[in-house]
Structure 1
Amino acid sequence: MTGSGTAAAAPSVTGALTVLVAGGSGASGVAVARALAAAGHRVATAGSDRARIGAAAEKAGDGVTPFTCDLADPDGVRQLRAEVSAAVGPVDAVIHLVGGWRGAKGIADQSDDDWDFLERGAITTLRNVSRVFFDDIAASPAGRFAMVSSTALDKPTAAVASYVAAKAAAEAWTMAMADGFRRAAGDGGHLAAATILVVKALVDDELRRAHPERKFPGATDVADLAAAVVRLFGTPSTELNGVRLRLAG
């Protein structure tokens, strides 16, 4: 509902929240899950490969519970919601880390296979988790939704047309979520926040070891991404909802 009053910003979090890390198998998922657990939150991390998500959760440490789910399947995401709620409680926040990258030489050779891959990872999974968990996040006194986007949207090039188009669609959906949270808060209710975290690229120690010849200029370390995610819960929602936060490289 809407109203003329002002929604209440969620205060800084002092108690444990239940946070779902969607796409938690990679280095960024491990770093984010570990940081959230270290901050005292209950962390559910989800991925489509049981062995990979289990190994990632173990690497992240205590307080992280893995769940297997194809996030591109709406029924699977609804089942995930039931499983997470039963195991660790209703979800207060979702951190969307599903993605991937595909490029080409120009416009003409942007392939359908690459587009299908990017649409599934960047858009479909985000639509599914946001629709299924929206009411839970909106009802939380410290509800948060965050996705990771790219500085490539600032000046799109032909070589990454499919990638930036998929990210732009995901950003537009997230901004629409921000409006949804404002409407759900109504007059004086707790305002949840939908936020976009913008990076040039992400890098971790394993990637640096694999490519010692590269300098990764402007890239954001996954540990810094994780710290930024944790800070979302100590920042008033009025400062986060509908905002693109650029993370320094």
Structure 2
Amino acid sequence: MSAEGRTVLVAGAGGTAGRAVCAALTAGGAHVVALGSRAASLTGVAAAESHAIDLADPDAVAALAADIRARRGGVDGLVHLVGGWRGGAGEADWEWLERRVLTTLRVTSRELRDDLSASSAGRLVAVSSASVAEPRWGMANYVTLKAAVETWMAALATGWRVKGTPTAAITFVVRSLDDEGVVDALSESIAALWELPHAQLNGALVSLGDGRVVEE
């Protein structure tokens, strides 16, 4: 198996990591659907199609998913790279982060859960932070939400394991996407997920450090 011919949605495609992931998947023959909050951010992204959409809006996501199903017959992958950074523990910062970091993941993965289950090799990817293992008050909102991302992904993984579907939820853990080699390692690792058995991948927390892939 490979990513060739697979329909893969990349949420947050306009960022540095999103662009690299789209390029790697497209090079691997996938039909990449690039998603971002602003059309301008998607200019030049290597993808078969791109859509500006509010990924925290369930109705908007449902409409897009229905359109893709009608045209492509289903979805084989969702790569969630939507994020952001604000420090502290304040309410305004929490609301800003929660919508981007967690709500977009919840909305998109709920909508596409059955599609991924029905695929012969469904893959769901999210990115967490190494800071979850060493939380500090100065980033309390951020690490709490990233911990929630890991929990949400673990719940999906358990559901797929119980159902026995060839589907996998994989969480990559990074210290910083700005570290040398990490974006390249992330994009290469994601593009290769369809070459690996779902049982090996489902529920995995994969640490990306110094450009190296280390499974935990």
- Equivalent in the alignment of 1:152: 131
SS of residue in 2 equivalent to 1:247:
strand
Number of the residue aligned with 1:33: 22
| 8 Å CA contact retained: 2:158, 2:203 | yes
For residues 152-193 of structure 1, the C-alpha deviation after alignment (integer angstroms, 9 at most, x for no partner) is 0111111111000001111100100001111332xxxx4200
1:228 and 2:189 aligned = yes
Which SS does the other structure have where 2:202 is aligned? coil
Residue-pair matches, total: 210
Contact 2:62 2:111 in 1 (8 A): yes
TM-score calculated relative to the size of structure 1: 0.80
Partners of 1:239 and 1:174 in 2: CA distance: 15
CA RMSD of aligned residues (A): 1.5
Q: State the match for 2:207 in structure 1.
A: 246
Give SS of 2:209's match.
Answer: coil
Q: Deviations over 1:28-48 (max 9, x none)?
A: 111000100000110001112
Please report how far the alpha carbon of residue 16 of structure 1 lies from its aligned counterpart in structure 2 after TM superposition: 1.4
Q: CA deviation at 1:85?
A: 2.6
Q: Secondary structure at the match of 1:197?
A: strand
Tell me how far apart the structure 1 counterparts of residues 175 and 135 of structure 2 sit (CA, whole Å): 13
CA deviation after TM superposition for structure 1 residue 51, in Å? 2.1
Please, what TM-score do these two structures have when normalized by structure 2?
Answer: 0.92
Q: Report matched runs for 1:56-135 at 5 Å.
A: 58-60=44-46, 63-104=47-88, 110-135=89-114
Say which structure, 1 or 2, has more relative contact order (CA 8 Å, 6+ apart). 1
Letter in 1 for 2:194: F
Moved more, 190-199 or 132-141: 190-199
Q: Counterpart of 1:213?
A: none
- Match of 1:162, SS? helix
Question: Would the alpha carbon gap of residues 141 and 161 (structure 1) be closer, same or farther in structure 2, given more than 3 Å must change?
Answer: same
Match of 1:44 in 2: 33
Structure 2 residue aligned with 1:200: 175
User: C-alpha offsets along residues 106-159 of structure 1, whole Å, 9 cap, x if unaligned?
Assistant: xxxx21111001110111000001110000001101100010111001111111
Is the 1:25–1:52 contact (alpha carbons within 8 Å) kept by the matching residues of 2? yes
For the 8 Å contact 2:7–2:74, the answer to whether it is kept is: yes
Where 2:96 maps in the other structure, the secondary structure is: helix
Cα 1:162/1:26, change in 2 over 3 Å: same
1:236 positional shift: 0.9
- Contact kept, 8 Å, 2:3 with 2:194, in 1: the verdict is no
For residues 202 and 183 of structure 1, do their structure 2 counterparts lie closer, same or farther at Cα, with a shift above 3 Å needed?
Answer: same
Task: Tell whether the 8 Å contact from 1:201 to 1:220 is kept in structure 2 after alignment.
Answer: no
Call closer, same or farther: CA 1:72–1:126 in 2, change over 3 Å.
same
Unaligned runs of 5+ in 1: 1-11, 105-109, 204-215
For structure 2, the residue ranges without an aligned partner over 5 or more in a row are 211-216
1:49-101 Cα deviation digits (max 9, x unpaired): 12222x0xx242xx431012100011111011023234444111100001111
Which protein has the larger Cα radius of gyration, Structure 1 or Structure 2?
Answer: 1
DSSP-derived class of the 1:145 partner: strand
The alignment-based identity, stated in percent, is 41
Question: What is the aligned counterpart of 1:17 among 6, 29, 54?
Answer: 6
Check the 8 A contact 1:33/1:64 in 2, yes or no. no
Q: How big is each residue's C-alpha offset from its partner over 1:198-219, in whole Å with a ceiling of 9 and x where there is no partner?
A: 111012xxxxxxxxxxxx4xx5
Q: Matches of 2:181 and 2:81 in 1, distance apart?
A: 14
Moved over 4 A (4+): none
| Deviation at residue 247 of structure 1 after TM alignment | 1.1
